[in-house]
Structures are given as structure tokens and as C-alpha cells.
């Protein structure tokens, strides 16, 4: 859990209490949120600087847990009121879910301000959020080397102009298959990815849930299958853990560019495969870096022919 002094990782996103129902069990008020999953996943490689907002109800043990993982929590702002709450139910196939309740609470007033010493961050993850706020974060970073952003259907439909203005400022955009269709109007996934690439980001990572991801860049298309796991307890946070694995790895690695992003995506895939094996952060918190490297080698062997 060391990061090289010359590179530093920033994440801006949500912290939440999630209540999750799955066909195999449920959990109430588990610590979740995009920035939480991202931070913990990244901490195996390069612990990030975190910007987020929590309510007065946020227990000190959660803060402490993040700090113990090496996460810089100076950018964590506490506002009067309650922390963001989300409640969802997964379908039998675990690839789709219904949102049952959303209470933005203090997250509805989120106005991300970077502590002064965060402004030299080289690697940045803009977790899913209002595109105008994502842009505002970027305005505060002095000279970012690699910016990855997530988005969602809501912003594609309702904040399209702001989102399109943001895309050329990104290195990578992360989105799922239905969001790629929505943004591009293309039914074929490869065409959809290529169309989004033409909108400005340097690369596009298209997530296909339990089926892995595709990477689109000037180098062409790459496919990264999911690690096949028989234990899918709770898929919540898989996408943000994937992003955390990628950027945590990239922040810690100085090897030449072409293979690096794909290696980062492999690490992201493996970290996410641990996340889904239990509710919330439970499995990640029991994971050792050696387990990640072991599973990465198993995965590499699976893809070799």
C-alpha cells in the first residue's frame, strides 16, 4: 500500500449506505457508494485522495477503516443531515436490478472542493455524477495526466450537452452497454463503442456486466472477459471496484503505455471479482494483495491458447 511520490490518485464521488436484496440474502445500511468502492479497490495499488460528502450519521469507524487502508480523507466533508442512502433489489440473474429507494440527503448538496494539496493529483477518477460537477472537479486539478469518468443513463438523457462538453477533456469514459446504445444510437456494441470514442475521449471502456468489458482506443478494440466466479453474492460496486483497480494500478506503474492500460484492466477485473463475492466491502476487506496477484495469474492462464 505505497504510492510513488510523483504520481497521486484522486477520486470524487459518493459515499452511501446501501440496503441490498438479492435472491440469496440481504443487507441493510452497508457502507457503499462509488468513491468508497473505488478507494478501497485502488488502495491495493495506490491509495487515493478522496473527495466526498457524508452526513452527521456517518460512523467514525468507517472513516477510520478508509484511513487505515491508506486513503487520504482530508477531502471528506461532513454536512448536517443524513448520508446518501440507496436501496435496491437484484434479479435472479444478478446482472439486472431495480432501484427501490434513493435518498440523496447531503449528496444532493455536494459541491466538490479539492483540498489544496489534492490539486497536483496526476490520476483522476470522476465517479458517476452530474457532468457539470465532474467538469468543476477537473477545473481544480492543475495538470492531470489521466482522467477517467463514469456516467449513467440519467445524465445521457438529461444533461447531454454538459456530458458532451466533458468528453473531450477525458482520457477514458466508462459506461455500460445500455448507456453506450443510448449515447451513440448504435445497436451494435462495437459500433457504439467506436461512436462514443469519436465524441472525444481517448479511450472508451464498455462494461457488459457479468460478461466483461471492451476497450476502444486508437489502437483498436480489446476484449477483457469477466473472471468467471461461482460466488456472486452482491454485484454492487463491481464497476467502481473495477475502475479503482485500473487507476490504482496505473498510478503505481511506470511501464510503457500500450500494455499498461490493458494490464490495469486485468487488475480491475480481478479486484471486481473479489468485490462481488460478498455484500458491500466485506470480501474486499478480507482480500490480500497476494490473492489478487494469484487470481490474476489464473486469469491469464484462462485466456491463453
Binds a second copy by CB under 8 A, chosen from 108, 117, 259, 294: 259
Q: Does 225 bind a second copy (CB under 8 A)?
A: yes
Residue closer to a second copy by CB (options 85, 295) is: 295
Residue closer to a second copy by CB (options 66, 265) is: 265
Binds a second copy by CB under 8 A, chosen from 64, 157, 223, 254: 223
Residue closer to a second copy by CB (options 132, 232) is: 232
Q: Does 228 bind a second copy (CB under 8 A)?
A: yes
Q: Does 197 bind a second copy (CB under 8 A)?
A: no
CA separation, residue 149 to residues 79, 91, 109, 206 (Å): 25, 27, 20, 12
Residue closer to a second copy by CB (options 71, 192) is: 192
Beta bridge partners of 31: 17
| Cα atoms found within 13 Å of the Cα of residue 54, Cβ hemisphere only | 24
CB under 8 A: which stretch of 33-41, 146-154, 219-227, 279-287 binds a second copy?
219-227
Alpha-carbon dihedral sign for residues 228, 229, 235, 238: negative
15-44 footprint of a second copy as x/- string (CB under 8 A): --------x---------------------
CB under 8 A: which stretch of 102-110, 124-132, 212-220, 284-292 binds a second copy?
212-220
Binds a second copy by CB under 8 A, chosen from 81, 208, 277, 282: 208
Q: Does 185 bind a second copy (CB under 8 A)?
A: no
Residue closer to a second copy by CB (options 33, 88) is: 88
C-alpha grid cell for residue 210? Answer: 457479468
Contact between 167 and 200 under an 8 Å Cβ cutoff? The reply is: yes
Neighbours of 267 (CB within 10 A): 27
Q: Does 5 bind a second copy (CB under 8 A)?
A: no
Q: Which residues bind a second copy (CB under 8 A)?
A: 23, 92-94, 187-191, 194, 208, 210-212, 214, 220-232, 259, 262-263, 265-266, 300, 302-305
Amino acid at each position: 500500500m505505497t504510492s510513488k511520490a510523483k504520481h497521486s490518485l484522486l477520486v470524487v464521488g459518493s459515499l452511501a449506505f446501501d440496503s441490498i436484496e438479492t435472491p440469496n440474502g440481504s443487507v441493510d445500511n452497508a457502507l457503499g457508494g462509488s468513491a468508497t468502492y473505488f478507494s478501497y479497490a485502488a488502495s491495493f495499488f495506490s491509495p487515493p485522495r478522496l473527495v466526498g460528502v457524508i452526513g452527521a450519521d456517518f460512523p467514525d469507524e468507517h472513516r477510520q477503516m478508509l484511513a487505515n487502508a491508506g486513503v487520504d480523507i482530508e477531502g471528506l466533508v461532513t454536512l448536517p443531515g443524513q448520508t446518501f442512502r440507496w436501496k435496491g433489489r437484484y434479479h435472479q440473474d444478478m446482472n439486472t436490478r431495480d432501484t427501490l429507494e434513493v435518498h440523496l440527503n447531503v449528496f444532493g448538496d455536494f459541491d466538490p472542493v479539492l483540498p489544496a494539496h489534492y490539486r497536483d493529483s496526476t490520476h483522476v477518477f470522476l465517479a458517476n455524477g452530474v457532468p457539470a460537477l465532474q467538469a468543476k472537479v477537473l477545473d481544480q486539478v492543475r495538470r492531470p495526466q489521466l482522467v477517467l469518468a463514469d456516467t449513467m443513463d440519467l445524465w445521457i438523457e438529461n444533461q447531454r450537452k454538459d456530458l458532451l462538453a466533458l468528453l473531450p477533456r477525458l482520457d477514458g469514459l466508462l459506461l455500460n452497454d445500455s448507456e453506450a446504445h443510448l449515447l451513440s444510437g448504435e445497436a451494435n456494441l462495437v459500433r457504439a463503442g467506436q461512436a462514443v470514442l469519436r465524441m472525444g475521449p481517448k479511450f472508451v471502456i464498455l462494461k457488459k456486466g457479468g460478461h466483461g468489458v471492451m476497450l476502444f482506443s486508437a489502437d483498436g478494440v480489446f476484449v477483457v472477459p469477466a473472471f468467471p466466479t461461482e460466488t456472486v453474492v452482491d454485484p454492487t460496486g463491481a464497476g467502481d471496484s473495477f475502475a479503482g483497480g485500473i487507476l490504482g494500478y496505473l498510478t503505481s506503474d511506470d511501464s510503457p503505455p500500450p500494455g499498461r492500460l490493458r494490464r490495469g484492466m486485468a487488475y480491475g477485473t480481478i479486484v471486481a471479482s473479489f468485490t462481488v463475492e460478498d455484500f458491500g466491502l466485506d470480501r474486499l476487506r478480507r482480500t490480500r494483495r497476494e490473492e489478487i496477484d494469484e487470481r490474476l495469474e489464473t486469469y491469464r492462464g484462462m485466456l491463453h491458447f
